[in-house]
């Protein structure tokens, strides 16, 4: 697992957006071989989406051959309700960029047969060859998507009943009226996310620090479902300084030093985008960290 620590929410958003851009551009997607991206909702990815829109408007990124699968959607909420995840994705990303409508997949919370809808979603993912990169956030209780504590770590896309705490937390978007908040949601499972070839989780803020600590310093545990990332061959967690508050000092120093070794001693030009080392060259090819997409202008 790679842990990338940046100063604050803005730097984290910038890092993830740049990373997505580089991954897509290196992949060189085409109509026959599109880049399949998994996307989250919530407050964590808003900054990332904003920066992705900026990159698109600057001409550095195109979504023409990108296929997307969202993590979740409420059950029973009209699709054009301002709080639906369809509306969220439309307003934060899709309406700004050149993604093709038929390449967008979001679970349909109004499907007549919800189980069929979930099975169909899994089948759609398989049909495009699986997800290349799945972006995600984390809840204060360490959950990914709507896989709340106790969710099986081998779960797949299914209907979930929302925890009371989650319903209360969401009431602020429904005029403070708990009765208006949806009680059920469709969500990808923990295993659905971990099946992706790469998983990138964004974790910012002090209120997420305990969850981050539980997920990467302690065992794989269904009470903290993001901990399943420990079993993934290509896991990437990007967090800000506040989110590291509950980590051991040793952990933070370790991951910061790895970045330093990679960039100063091995040289960014020898690293592949996903962290692998391509070759070793003589040191002295640069003491200062050269500017690369991974450490951009915000270093």
Partner 1 sequence: MLSTNKPAPKSKITKIVNARLLLDHKIVKDSYLWFQDGKIIHPQNLFFDQHRDADEIIDAQGMMVVPGYMDIQINGGYGIDFADHEGSLDKIQKDVDTVAKGLLQYGCTAFCPTVVSSAPEVYNKVLPLLNKRKGDAKGGSEILGAHIEGPFISHEKKGAHNQEIFRTGKRGIDEFDEAYGPELKKGSEAVSIITLAPEIEGVTEVIPELANRGICVSIGHSAATIDVAENAVAKGATLITHLFNAMLPFHHRDPGMIGVLGAVDLPAPVDPARHPSASNTSPDRTKPDPRPFYGLIVDGVHVHPNSVRIAYYAHPKGCVLVTDALSALGLPKGLYTLGGRELEIDDNGAAYIKGTNTLAGSTISIDQSVRNFRQFTKCTVVEAIEAATLHPAQVLGISDRKGTLNPGGDADLLFLNDDLEIQRVFVYGEEVELTKNKK
Find the shortest distance in angstroms from Cβ 64 to partner 1.
Answer: 11
Q: Is 175 in the site for partner 1 (CB under 8 A)?
A: no
Within 10 Å of residue 283's Cβ, how many Cβ atoms?
11
Of the residues 117, 132, 148, 240, which is catalytic? 148
Q: Which of 86, 143, 222, 263 is catalytic?
A: 143
Helix/strand/coil percentages in the chain, nearest 5 = 40, 15, 45
Examine residue 100 and tell whether it contacts partner 1 (CB under 8 A).
Answer: yes
Are 295 and 5 spatial neighbours (Cβ–Cβ below 8 Å)? no
Size of the site for partner 1 (CB under 8 A): 14
- Token pair in block for residue 98: 């050149």
- Backbone angles phi and psi of 159, in degrees to 5: -85, 135
The reply to whether 232 sits near partner 1 by the rule CB under 8 A is no
Taking CB under 8 A as the rule, does residue 104 contact partner 1? yes
Which member of 76, 78, 130, 286 binds partner 1 (CB under 8 A)? 78
Please identify which residue in 58, 59, 80, 233 interacts with partner 1, judged by CB under 8 A. 80
CA pair distance 68, 128, nearest whole angstrom = 10
Comparing CB distances to partner 1, the nearer of 78 and 286 is 78
Min dist CB 86 to partner 1, Å, is: 6
Tell me if residue 32 is catalytic: no
Residue (180 or 253) nearer to partner 1, CB: 180
Find tokens 């995600």 and name the residue.
136
Q: Does 64 bind partner 1 (CB under 8 A)?
A: no
Question: Any catalytic annotation for residue 143?
Answer: yes
CB nearer to partner 1: give 93 or 138: 93
Residue 36 neighbours by CB under 8 Å, 6+ apart: 66, 67, 68, 69, 125, 128, 129, 130, 131, 132, 133
Please pick, from the candidates 96, 156, 197, 289, the single residue that binds partner 1 as defined by CB under 8 A. 96
Q: How long is the chain?
A: 299
For the question of residue 105 being annotated catalytic, the response is: no
Helix (H, G, I), strand (E, B) or coil at 180: helix
Nearest to 261, CA basis, from 235, 287, 236, 242:
287
Phi-psi region of 162 (alpha: psi -120 to 50; beta: other; left: phi over 0): beta
DSSP 147: B
Contact (Cβ atoms closer than 8 angstroms) between residue 144 and residue 190 = yes
Contact status: 86 vs partner 1 (CB under 8 A): yes
CB of 50 to partner 1, least distance (A): 9
Active-site annotation holds for 218: no
Please tell me which residue in 11, 72, 132, 198 is annotated as part of the active site. Answer: 72
Choice among 11, 73, 132, 141 that is catalytic: 141
Q: Does 101 bind partner 1 (CB under 8 A)?
A: yes
Smallest separation (angstroms) from partner 1 to the CB of 36: 18
Binding site for partner 1 (CB under 8 A): 78-80, 86-87, 90, 94-96, 100-102, 104, 106
Active site residues: 72, 141, 143, 148
């Amino acid at each position: 697992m790679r842990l990338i620590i940046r100063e604050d929410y803005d730097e984290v958003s910038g890092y993830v957006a740049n990373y997505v851009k580089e991954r897509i551009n290196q992949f060189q997607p085409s109509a026959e071989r599109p880049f399949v991206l998994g996307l989250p909702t919530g407050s964590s990815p808003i900054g990332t989406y904003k920066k992705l829109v900026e990159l698109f408007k600057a001409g550095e990124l195109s979504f023409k051959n990108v296929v997307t699968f969202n993590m979740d959607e409420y059950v029973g909420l009209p699709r054009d309700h301002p709080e639906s995840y369809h509306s969220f994705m439309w307003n934060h990303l899709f309406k700004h960029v050149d993604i093709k409508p038929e390449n967008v997949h979001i679970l349909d919370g109004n499907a007549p047969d919800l189980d069929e809808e979930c099975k169909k979603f899994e089948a759609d993912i398989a049909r495009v060859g699986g997800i290349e990169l799945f972006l995600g956030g984390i809840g204060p209780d360490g959950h990914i998507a709507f896989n709340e504590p106790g969710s099986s770590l081998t779960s797949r896309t299914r209907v979930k009943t929302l925890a009371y705490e989650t319903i209360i937390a969401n009431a602020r978007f429904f005029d403070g009226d708990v009765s208006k908040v949806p009680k059920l949601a469709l969500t990808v499972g923990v295993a659905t996310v971990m099946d992706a070839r790469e998983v990138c989780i964004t974790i910012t803020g002090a209120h997420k620090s305990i969850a981050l600590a539980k997920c990467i310093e302690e065992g794989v545990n269904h009470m903290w479902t993001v901990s399943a990332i420990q079993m993934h061959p290509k896991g990437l967690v990007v967090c800000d300084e506040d989110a590291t508050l509950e980590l051991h000092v040793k952990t933070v120093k370790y991951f910061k030093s790895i970045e330093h070794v990679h960039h100063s001693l091995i040289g960014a030009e020898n690293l592949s985008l996903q962290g692998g080392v391509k070759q070793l060259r003589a040191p002295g090819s640069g003491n200062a960290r050269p500017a690369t997409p991974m450490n951009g202008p915000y270093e």
